[in-house]
Structure 1
Amino acid sequence: MLKSILQLVRAPNGLTAISNIIAASVIASSGQVNSSLVILVLASLAFYYGGMALNDCFDYKEDLAERANRPLPSGQISLKIGWLFGLGLMAAGLLLSAYFSWPNLIPFYVGFGLAACILLYNSVFKEGLAGSIMMGFCRYFNWLLGASFVVFTFQSSEQVLPQSIYLIALPIWFYITGLTFLSKQETQAKNRNALWLTSGLLLATAASLFMLLFYVLGESIQTQLIGSGLIVVWLILMLKRLIPLWFNFTPDNIQKMIMFMIIGVIPLDALMLAISGYYIWALVVLALLPPCRILSKYLYMT
């Protein structure tokens, strides 16, 4: 039963949600994080795992025909339990985000936006580019949830986040939108044009990282030089894995690329920390990579 639940929520992927929260909170609070961050981490995991469970609930009929081995269509977990589990986790995410800095409700508002995007993606905007954009906003709001730690750090009474934080979350939006659009091809590999959009969005991710490095995050020439080198290396590694797909566009290769990109959320968050000058925190986030890779060998991620 436990393994079925872990399969249902794609347990390894939760580590990428944690890396979002750590990176966003450290950058937004200028490194002034403390143990209270655990509350936002738990809220993020509740939203993520709840969303994954609801995804399979909404896709139940489709999975009966195409993915009969998944926990719900195979009968390992009943559909009713799946709905209760998913909705219960979403409610827990909202409660935790409200509790975090009560009575300041910024984290709750962000959590509500995240929950809305998750439900809209699962129920309405799942297909095509619209679905990919909506999934990008799911991660965007997850990043903002981490960034909302700033209201706890500075005990702000303001009910808005600093404008720069909305810009800092852009790279994850570009990246996840491209990843999701490519993932639509992992079962049938019909639309090779998905590679153009994914490639363009990876370039947009790099461009937004450079913009942040020189105009928002990089406070010294040394940080800008190191950051520029790291961004170039990151982009080369991503394109090195993507380019072979142009010559061998098959479901198996697409799925491998999707797994690589999902796990790649962790290095992207670490890169964000590095270009902000938080090198120790970047290493802390990178420490999530080994357990994520190990879990991915036993539990599917897509």
Structure 2
Amino acid sequence: MGFATAVLIRPRAALVLGRVSNLPTVVSNALAGLALAGTTLAPAPLLDAILALTLFYVGGMYLNDAFDAAVDARGRPGRPIPRGDAARGAVFVAGFALVALGVALAAHSGPVGAASGTALAVAILLYDVLHKKTALAPVIMGVCRFLAYAMAAGMAGAPPGTALLLGAAGLFCHVVGLTCAARQEAYDRLERAWPLAMLAVPLLGTLAASLQAGGGTVAGLALWIVLLAATAVALFRLFRRAPGDVPRAVALLIAAIALYDAILVAVGGGPGWAVALATLCFPATLALQRLVPGT
């Protein structure tokens, strides 16, 4: 059954389309954004930020597959729409609805949240529409994660400060590096390695922040060692280029976003529960990726 004849989004397809295994990194993004903004990590603003970012993430991923359906039918026929497990029209509707709900929730928090939420929605749509057509796609994806921090802070009424902008810049570089690798995942090979140098920026930035931090120094340094190890393993796989190495490396780098977030929460003086929660998002992502593909 082709993607043009499917009439429903099957339950398994709904999970695959949304790349829900990566949602723990959305939780850690919300924690880091609030911590860097210097706001109190109270349950209400944190849950609001997590919900809004989840709506944006899943909605954006749905739209990604909907816009790519024709291309996937040729190159990735196992994706839910080409194989007939989801109707392209239904995926479009669901994706736009989820993004719209994310904007509405962000706007409900106030003008700063409305502005950052709108900016994030625009960036997501730009990526989904253009990512197959421009070499700047990794940059647009990096902007999406950059704005995730800004929106979490904005929903708490905090405009972006220096700490948040620097932290978001490091996340931007990490995402640009992994997205450059992910663009070549369908071919299971890495043709251009130089963009991976971007991965050094968050490593150097978090090391410097951990060494300068007060109470978060020990936790920050311990998490930095884990982030360094995860990045090294991913790079080894990318350069080895054995069958399956590229997608596994990309999935690991996605999960490592949570480690980067956890370091920032630790060095930003976040409470122990917040550091622990952000840290647990890394193994949670890896575990969920075994059930639902993260890419």
Shorter-chain-normalised TM-score: which range?
0.7 to 0.9
Which consecutive unaligned segments of at least 5 residues does structure 1 have? 153-159
Aligned with residue 99 of structure 1, among 108, 113, 121: 108
Tell me which of 236, 245, 251 is aligned to 1:243.
236
Conserved? CA contact 2:171–2:202, under 8 Å? yes
Amino acid paired to 1:117: A
Asked whether the 8 Å contact 1:259–1:301 carries over to 2, the reply is yes
Aligned 8 A contact 1:25 1:33 in 2: no
**Counterparts of 1:211 and 1:219 in 2: how far apart (Å)?**
9
Amino acid at match of 1:6: L
- Structure 1 208/219 Cα, relative in aligned 2: closer, same or farther at 3 Å? closer
Letter in 1 for 2:241: F
Q: Which residue of structure 1 aligns with residue 82 of structure 2?
A: 73
- What is aligned with 1:180? 179
Q: How many residues align?
A: 285
Contact 2:149–2:164 (CA under 8 A) maintained in structure 1: no
Residues 97, 107 of structure 1: 8 Å contact kept: yes
Deviation at 1:210?
4.0
- Per-residue CA distance 1:175-197 (angstroms, 9 max, x = gap): 11100001112122554332x32
> Which has the larger displacement, 292-301 or 25-34?
25-34
CA distance in 1, matches of 2:230, 2:293: 23
Counterparts of residues 17-166 of structure 1 (less than 5 Å) = 17-100=26-109, 104-126=110-132, 129-151=135-157, 160-166=159-165
Residue 64 of structure 1: CA displacement? Answer: 0.8
**Gap regions ≥5 residues in structure 2:** 1-9
Supply the AA of the counterpart residue of 1:178. G
**1:4-23 alignment runs, 5 A limit:** 4-23=13-32
Q: TM-score normalised to the size of structure 2? A: 0.87
Match of 1:259 among 247, 251, 256: 251
Q: Cα RMSD (Å) of the superposition? A: 2.3
Q: Decide whether the 8 Å contact of 1:126 with 1:132 is kept in 2.
A: no
SS in 2 for 1:264: helix
Q: 1:276 matched to which residue of 2?
A: 268
Identity %: 25
Counterparts of 2:19 and 2:231 in 1: how far apart (Å)? 23
CA spacing shift, 1:277–1:105, aligned 2, 3 Å: same
